[in-house]
Amino acid sequence: MTESTHSNCKSLLGSLSDYVDGDLGAELCREIEKHIAECEDCRIVVDTTRKTVDLVHASNLPQTGLPDEVRDRLFKRLNLADYLKPVSQ
């Protein structure tokens, strides 16, 4: 992002999170899309930021439950051992 030709780069950065989350208004989206069509560095930053967020979400899956032995110890610590029935899932 060299200073002379990329005065829009910094303002793009401020809207980046909202843009990749799909929370940015249509007009600002168009501005960003116009800018990244001309600015390869910003295009890469947008693409790889979106990919980063996608990877975080993808690596969240599957949502594992609590390991049985952790649940056992938790219930005992809380004096709830009487309620240690199997989880109904």
Partner 1 sequence: MIETISKPDISLEALRAGDRAEFARLVDSYSAPIYRLGLRMLGNEQDAEDVLQNTFLSAFTHLSNFEGRSSVLTWLYRIAVNESLMVMRRGKPEVNIDDTDSSDEAEDFSPTQFVDWGALPEDMLLSVEGKQALDRAIQNLPENLRMVFLLRDIQELSIKDTAETLGLTESNVKVRLLRARLSLREQLSVYYGERINQEKIND
Q: Is 28 in the site for partner 1 (CB under 8 A)?
A: no
Closest distance of CB 57 from partner 1, Å: 7
Give the integer Cα–Cα distance in Å for 65 and 71.
10
Cα separations in angstroms, 62 against 7, 55, 57, 65, 84: 42, 13, 10, 9, 24
Q: Is 60 in the site for partner 1 (CB under 8 A)?
A: yes
3 state DSSP class of 19: helix
Q: Footprint of partner 1 on this chain (CB under 8 A)? A: 1, 10, 13-14, 16-18, 20, 40-41, 44-45, 47-53, 55-66, 70-71, 73-75, 77-80, 82-83, 87
